[in-house]
Structure 1
Amino acid sequence: MSSEVNAETLVECVPNISEGRDRQKIDLIVAAAAAVEDVDVLDVDPGAET
């Protein structure tokens, strides 16, 4: 295993947040994640209940 960091490395995170009916909370969480350097938010799916 190499200790070098590849700039093309992709790490996918799929958080499960039980705030599906509160779009404002979802938007705040997404904004916090997107504010992190080198993080791209690719999709937000609040689920069928919203």
Structure 2
Amino acid sequence: MGAQEILVVILFIAALIYVGNMIYKNFNAKKSCGSNCKCGIDFSDLPDPEKK
């Protein structure tokens, strides 16, 4: 293998790792947040839409 082929293989593997990491973070973030967890945001000063 020539130097250019080795460089292309290394860049391809790095791109696969990068895309795999992005996909992993995308699915991992969806699992960590529940439907009503509020994610650390304080909503106490907003009016409750259920109370009329």
The two structures have a TM-score, normalised by structure 2, of 0.29
Larger Rg: 2
The two structures have a TM-score, normalised by structure 1, of 0.30
